[in-house]
Amino acid sequence: MALLKTYLPVKRILNNLYFLFLLNGLLAASLFFFATEASYEKELFSAISQNIKKELPQNFTDQDYALKALETTGYLQNNRSAVFGSSGIKGITANFFHPSTVDLMTNEGACGSYVVALLRILKSNNIQVKTGQMKVNGIYGGHMILEAWIENRWVVMDPTFGLYFKNDDGSWASFKQLQANWNFYKHQTPQDYNQEYQYEDMRYTNREKIPVLTPAIKSIFNVILGREMADSISIRPYLLRSYHKLAWFTFIIWIAVMLHTAKTYSARKKTELHAPSSAEMKTKAA
């Protein structure tokens, strides 16, 4: 009974044309805002990407681009870190939406911001990427790195230290190679490198972030894809374009609300059309 009492007022509100027209306007305005912000964010990283390409030879490879992108990320983030320091930025944009531009412009997220900036620059050139949380002293999340699909294999890039690792043949090293023989690769690190970052293990997605739900999804992926492939899935690269996703979500909701508004408006008009006029009511009363 209590549920029914709650449902009836809600139903009346959702069938109120004044409310529906207002809701349509709010959704349209929100969609415009999210789409505009998404476009700005995309164009910003595209501009960085285009500038990188101008400095490369005409027939550059993905490896050439990735190397220049790594250098550019270091230049951008190191200078922004010096300007903004450790002061945090508060507000809805930074704390709730947190688009990639916040990481690019402030470097507030330390190694995470370096990874986000490089990831978006690489994706602007259609290079596949994965992010990973490194296990440090037995705990995941001690450091973040990125893996890029270059020369038909996943290779490690650490934008915080401007690092990529080379094998004896000059090819770039994968995570498994670093994990298996860190004593060899550690000599390629710079002086300011934290030697606790030893590539002991990597987590590509935090499977425990949402209790019950994410472990259940992981179990399903284990069955469908196999444990090894499921462990290598990186969700973060698909979640970074927050405004883009909000624009699509708002668009879908707006379409549903518009259809409901049209249906409600049509039903109201039919009711008014078939309702007796005041003259007819007077005639019947007489």
- Answer whether residue 118 is part of any domain: yes
Could you give the CA distance from residue 216 to residue 230 in angstroms, rounded to a whole number? 12
- Answer whether residue 277 is part of any domain: no
Could you tell me the residue range of the domain that residue 70 belongs to?
2-203+234-264
Give the type of residue at 100: S
- On whether the CB atoms of residues 270 and 21 are closer than 8 A, the answer is no
Q: Which residues contact 38 (CB under 8 A, 6 or more apart)?
A: 241, 243, 244, 246, 247
Q: How many domains does the chain have?
A: 1
- Answer whether residue 106 is part of any domain: yes
Could you give the CA distance from residue 25 to residue 267 in angstroms, rounded to a whole number? 21
Could you give the CA distance from residue 109 to residue 102 in angstroms, rounded to a whole number? 9
pTM of the model: 0.83
- Answer whether residue 156 is part of any domain: yes
Summarize the confidence of residues 51-76 as an average pLDDT: 94
Give the type of residue at 160: T
- Chain CA centroid to CA 178, Å: 27
- Answer whether residue 243 is part of any domain: yes
- Answer whether residue 165 is part of any domain: yes
Which residue's entry shows tokens 């606790």? Answer: 196
- Answer whether residue 188 is part of any domain: yes
- Answer whether residue 214 is part of any domain: no
Q: pLDDT of 145-200, one tens digit each?
A: 999 999 899 999 999 999 999 999 999 999 999 999 999 999 999 999 999 999 99
Confidence band of 78 (pLDDT split at 50, 70, 90): confident
Output the pLDDT for position 236. 83
Q: pLDDT of 224-240, one tens digit each?
A: 878 778 778 788 888 88
